[in-house]
């Protein structure tokens, strides 16, 4: 009997070993490591497991195991100065190797010469000076990624099973984000799977309140669809993985040019300005990361793996603020943020309403989780809504302060501070666009003396320059009538003092007063479009002492830099960077806009809620026609579409800046000259790795649609914010938000107690 049991055990062990061997063979077929990439894989393993975040190295871009030097970084992290210093030393070494006898070589020089013999073909040192590349270490980040990955791996594998995607691809977030759901790249890729907005929009909901790229589960479904699509089109996983970085169309072109589905042939033969180091190494990075992740204990010790996050879902039937949900579900807002990552930070920081239909997640072990639906059904009608809240915006002028703006708009200073994330380090400045709280309709009327000075975000018509059929408002009386006819007034004009006009509401378009008059579309004006005015009267509501200093501080005026000098830029949303003007045409329901940075036809179609082909037909564009910055585009201009368009367009650009400045800071600027063959996309995305809108901010005097060789460009030097930077920006040490939330909480509790 014992012998029989022993034989059965041996047979089972044999089957398991055979299964493992077959799986390994299948894995090597699906994900081969060609000879051309073996050194690249070894290089990335070294970066992920040996080189610290406090270290950097210089290596040959084409032959990565030729590592010239590993060096410690400055205390503040990566410093361009130290990198450039070390690079000059390497150039001197390469010059000495080329010009001097080997008998004069130092030990370091002999080591580099030997590395070229071991890892590069003959004569590879020729041109090496042009291939020197800096790489920051990733050891600590990769370790953290391994520990975080266990929160999501089971879910990712389950989703990938649905889409028939090999489970090894569940390790791809190690390359993209180190399994950090808060990851946000300098060029705007977000979340665990690092979706850019354009690609993410194909599969996910992305707007000013909700960004599903940030949610690991929603984003994993999107990644599965994208990877499946890539493989179905390319029929090779190495190409499908590379397409995740380089784009499906890009890899189709690479396959067409090389005539091969072999990743080795593509890397060796395909040449394109956009197919550079990152794209060429993406598959090698995946191979390295997945090999480490399959056996993490061989590379790291004492790993502390995180537990899988269990949750219960609760669909919202109404629009509600997060503070209300927190109160009735008895879940701290911080926990709601952690479990509902697709809600942008502004939802919690500014207490925006969470949309009806949104599926909230709460901890499964929460005591009230089983009764969550009943608890939400009991929320009083006064604390929820069946319609989305309306949004208004105000453009700050020279001489403004929060106290005066609050008086003009009939809101409190505390509301403006909370709505716009203002603290002692983040005061207002001339030209800034402020979000106006949404309590205007119910606000108490301001004193009559305030009305004359009131200048909310205006309703205006851009003056046409070319089309003689476009209507222009000419006389002063016409201008006044046009402005009055298009201000959205939610109030019923009660007797007594006249209330101040509300900021333009962009969720509902105004109707024309006369059939012959064409619609006039609201837009955020530049400071030059707003008339200067006297200081606003004092608000009727007293201002807490803790807010007086901020509320009475005048808007900062950014001095204009002299010609050729470094530009002076405040790290806040600057509407003057963008072409947001819109000109109505009296012939048909259309309008003209200018293309701004980071805008595509797809964006316009999305903001209008119309098919892309409709915009192409209006402009007589072919299916492959591309648009350029400052180009005039015709869009459909029905009133219900335009209101959504204006709001969505503005908030799209605001969100890009908010997301960027939440993670990064500009520490310096440097000049470079535009070379022949340069284009804006390659400069920003491939070379400098900065968003286009940031480049535009620092080069406002340039026409980005016609850059010429020899033009002087200013490049912002970007670094990640430290924990101290983020803490100071949040206002936490100062207590502004803490004070506001405490007041809001007390107010809400009082309101709840009054409910019969």
Distance CA 713, CA 708 (A): 11
Distance CA 555, CA 416 (A): 14
Instruction: Let me know whether 132 and 144 are in one domain.
Output: no
Inform me whether the pLDDT recorded for 224 exceeds 60. Answer: yes
Instruction: Let me know whether 577 and 713 are in one domain.
Output: yes
Does the residue 188 lie in any domain? yes
Instruction: Let me know whether 204 and 216 are in one domain.
Output: yes
Does the residue 226 lie in any domain? yes
Inform me whether the pLDDT recorded for 451 exceeds 50. Answer: no
Across-strand partners of 648?
none
Inform me whether the pLDDT recorded for 513 exceeds 90. Answer: no
Of 388, 413, 447, at which residue does a domain stop?
A: 388
Structure-model confidence comparison of residues 564 and 443, the more confident one: 564
Instruction: Let me know whether 92 and 158 are in one domain.
Output: no
Does the residue 411 lie in any domain? no
Render pLDDT for 571-596 as a digit per residue (tens, 0 to 9): 878 888 888 888 888 777 889 999 99
Instruction: Let me know whether 633 and 598 are in one domain.
Output: yes
Render pLDDT for 149-178 as a digit per residue (tens, 0 to 9): 999 999 999 999 999 999 999 999 999 999
Distance CA 455, CA 582 (A): 20
Number of domains forming the structure of the chain: 4
The domain that holds 161 is classified in CATH as 1.10.530.10
pLDDT of residue 580: 85
**pTM of whole model > 0.85?**
no
Q: Are strands 359-363 and 132-136 parallel, antiparallel or unpaired?
A: unpaired
DSSP 86-137: HHHHHHHHHHHHHHS-GGG--HHHHHHHHHHHHHS-TTTTTTGGGGEEEEE-
pLDDT of residue 495: 28
Mean pLDDT confidence for 389-409: 84
Does the residue 397 lie in any domain? no
Instruction: Let me know whether 189 and 275 are in one domain.
Output: yes
Instruction: Let me know whether 146 and 215 are in one domain.
Output: yes
Does the residue 532 lie in any domain? no
Instruction: Let me know whether 583 and 671 are in one domain.
Output: yes
Of 388, 405, 436, at which residue does a domain stop?
A: 388
Instruction: Let me know whether 241 and 330 are in one domain.
Output: no
Q: Which two tokens stand for residue 122?
A: 């003959």
Give φ, ψ of 545 to 5 degrees.
Answer: -55, -35
Residues 322/324/325/330 CA torsion (nearest 10 deg): 120
pLDDT tier at 372, thresholds 50, 70, 90: confident
Of 388, 420, 440, at which residue does a domain stop?
A: 388
Does the residue 670 lie in any domain? yes
- For 731-755, b/e burial (b = at least 16 CB within 10 A) is beeeebbebbbeebeeebeeeeeee
Residues 53 and 141 sit within 8 Å (Cβ to Cβ):
yes
Instruction: Let me know whether 469 and 603 are in one domain.
Output: yes
pLDDT tier at 616, thresholds 50, 70, 90: very high
Distance CA 506, CA 94 (A): 61
Distance CA 636, CA 619 (A): 11
- For 577-613, b/e burial (b = at least 16 CB within 10 A) is bbbbbbbbbeeeeebbbbbbbbbebebbbbbbebebe
Residues 723/724/726/730 CA torsion (nearest 10 deg): 140
Structure-model confidence comparison of residues 73 and 754, the more confident one: 73
pLDDT tier at 420, thresholds 50, 70, 90: confident
Instruction: Let me know whether 98 and 224 are in one domain.
Output: no
Does the residue 698 lie in any domain? yes
Instruction: Let me know whether 178 and 323 are in one domain.
Output: no
- Please state, in angstroms and as integers, the Cα–Cα distance from residue 228 to each residue in 152, 155, 160, 296, following that order: 19, 17, 9, 27
In this structure, the chain runs to a length of: 756
Does the residue 431 lie in any domain? no
Q: Which two tokens stand for residue 403?
A: 């106290």
669 is in which domain, residue-wise? 458-475+501-523+568-719
């Amino acid at each position: 009997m014992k012998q029989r049991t022993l034989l059965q055990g041996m047979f089972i062990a044999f089957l398991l070993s055979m299964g493992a061997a077959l799986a390994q063979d299948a894995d090597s077929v699906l994900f081969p490591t060609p000879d051309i990439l073996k050194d690249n894989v070894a290089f990335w393993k070294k970066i992920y497991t040996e080189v610290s975040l406090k270290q950097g190295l210089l290596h040959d871009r084409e032959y990565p195991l030729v590592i010239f030097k590993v060096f410690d970084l400055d205390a503040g992290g990566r410093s361009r100065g130290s990198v450039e210093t070390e690079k000059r030393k390497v150039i001197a070494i390469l010059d000495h190797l080329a010009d001097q006898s080997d008998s004069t070589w130092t030990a370091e020089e002999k080591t580099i010469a030997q590395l070229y013999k071991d890892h590069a073909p003959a004569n590879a040192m020729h041109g090496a000076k042009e291939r020197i590349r800096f790489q920051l270490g990733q050891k600590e980040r990769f370790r953290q990624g391994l520990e975080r990955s266990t929160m999501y791996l089971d879910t990712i594998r389950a989703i990938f099973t649905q889409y028939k995607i090999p489970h090894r691809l569940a390790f791809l977030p190690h390359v993209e984000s180190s399994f950090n759901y808060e990851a946000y790249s300098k060029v705007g890729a977000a979340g665990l799977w690092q979706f850019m907005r354009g690609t993410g929009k194909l599969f996910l909901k992305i707007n000013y309140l909700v960004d599903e790229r940030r949610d690991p589960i929603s984003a994993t479904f999107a990644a599965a669809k994208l990877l499946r699509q890539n493989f179905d089109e390319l029929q090779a996983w190495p190409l499908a993985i590379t397409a995740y970085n380089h784009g499906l169309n890009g890899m189709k072109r690479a396959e067409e040019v090389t005539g091969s589905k072999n990743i080795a042939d593509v890397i060796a033969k395909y040449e394109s300005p956009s197919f550079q180091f990152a794209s060429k190494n993406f598959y090698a990075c995946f191979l390295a990361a997945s090999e480490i992740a399959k056996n993490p204990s061989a590379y790291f010790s004492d790993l502390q793996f995180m537990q899988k996050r269990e949750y219960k879902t609760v669909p919202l039937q109404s629009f509600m603020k997060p503070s209300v949900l927190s109160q009735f579900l008895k879940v701290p807002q911080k926990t709601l943020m952690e479990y509902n990552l697709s809600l942008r930070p502004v939802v919690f920081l500014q207490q925006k309403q969470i949309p009806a239909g949104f599926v909230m997640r709460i901890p499964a072990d929460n005591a009230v989780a089983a009764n969550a639906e009943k608890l939400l059904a009991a929320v009083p009608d006064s604390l929820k809504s069946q319609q989305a809240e309306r949004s208004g915006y105000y453009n700050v002028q020279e001489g403004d302060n929060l106290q005066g703006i609050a008086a003009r708009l009939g809101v409190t200073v505390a509301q403006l501070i909370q709505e716009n994330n203002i603290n002692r380090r983040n005061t207002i400045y001339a030209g800034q666009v402020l979000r106006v709280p949404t309590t205007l309709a119910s606000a108490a009327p301001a004193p009559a003396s305030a009305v004359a000075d009131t200048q909310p975000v205006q309703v205006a018509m851009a003056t046409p320059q070319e089309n003689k059929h476009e209507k222009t408002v000419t006389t002063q009386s016409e201008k006044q009538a046009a402005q009055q006819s298009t201000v959205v007034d939610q109030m019923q004009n009660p007797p007594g003092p006249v209330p101040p006009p509300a900021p333009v509401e962009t969720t509902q378009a105004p109707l024309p007063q006369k059939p012959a008059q064409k619609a006039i579309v609201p837009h955020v004006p530049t400071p030059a479009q707003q008339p200067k005015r006297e200081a606003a009267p004092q608000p009727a509501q007293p201002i807490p002492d803790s807010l007086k200093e901020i509320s009475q501080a005048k808007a900062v005026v950014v001095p204009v830099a002299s010609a050729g000098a470094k530009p002076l830029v405040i790290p806040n949303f600057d509407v003057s960077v963008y072409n947001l003007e819109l000109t109505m045409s009296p012939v048909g329901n259309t309008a003209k806009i200018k293309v701004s940075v980071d805008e595509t036809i797809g964006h316009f179609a999305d903001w209008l809620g119309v098919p892309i082909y409709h915009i192409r037909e209006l402009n007589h564009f072919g299916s492959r026609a591309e648009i350029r910055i400052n180009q005039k585009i015709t869009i459909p201009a029905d009133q219900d579409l335009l209101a959504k368009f204006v709001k969505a367009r503005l908030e799209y650009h605001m969100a890009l800046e908010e997301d960027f400045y939440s993670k990064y800071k500009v520490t310096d600027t440097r000049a470079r000259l535009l070379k022949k063959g340069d284009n804006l996309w390659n400069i920003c995305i491939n070379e400098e790795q900065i968003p286009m809108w940031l480049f535009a901010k620092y080069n406002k005097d340039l026409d980005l649609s016609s850059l010429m060789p020899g033009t002087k460009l200013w490049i912002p030097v970007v670094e990640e914010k430290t924990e101290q930077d983020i803490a100071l920006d949040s206002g936490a040490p100062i207590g502004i938000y803490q004070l506001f939330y405490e007041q809001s909480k007390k107010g809400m509790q009082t309101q709840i107690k009054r409910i019969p």
